[in-house]
Amino acid sequence: MTYSEWFQNHGAKHQAIMKKLQHFSEKEVIQYFRFENMVKEEPDFCPLYKENKKCHDIDILNCYLCACPNFRFDDEGLEKEEEKTLFSLCNIDSKNGSRYISDDAIHQNCSGCLVPHQEAYIKKVFSRNWFEIMQDVQ
């Protein structure tokens, strides 16, 4: 699956959940997207939910921004770095991010970064339209 395919599929899942939560306040929506609730209420939102496994080691993991508005990608490649194609990067160059480098590709590894999973950050960038928040990623 390409970055673009994942992005569109995930956005559609997010929209379907938000349609159910139309009557929720912003605070209630953000609380709904807490990992423990999502595992129970939305088991198909993330493949890790089936194993009750978090993608990031954080006490209060919020899944509203599964995918980060600071992530940038291009399925064709953003640029060449020597012989390798850079496919994704962190726009804020998070000190907790890293890069996965293979023989011919470079991808951003966000597994160490907690920025989009903290509720204070989600409140800061909140929109009921996930695609609006994510508009700069591609």
**Residue 125, pLDDT score:** 97
pLDDT in tens, 97-116: 999 999 999 999 999 999 99
pLDDT band at 130 (very low <50, low <70, confident <90, very high): very high
Domain extents for the chain? Answer: 3-133
Per-residue pLDDT at 68? 95
Residue pair 55/63 in contact (Cβ under 8 Å)? The answer is no
In this prediction, residue 107 carries a pLDDT of: 97
Contact 110, 71 (CB under 8 A): yes
pLDDT at position 79 is: 96
Least Cα distance to 27 among 126, 134, 104 occurs for 126
A 10 A CB-CB count for 117 gives: 24
Query: CA-to-CA distance for 8 and 123, rounded, in angstroms?
Result: 23
DSSP 2-49: -HHHHHHHHHHHHHHHHHHTTTS-HHHHHHHTBHHHHHHH-TTS-GGG
Determine the Cα–Cα distance for residues 95 and 104; give it in Å rounded to an integer: 24
**Dist CA 85 CA 19 (whole Å):** 38
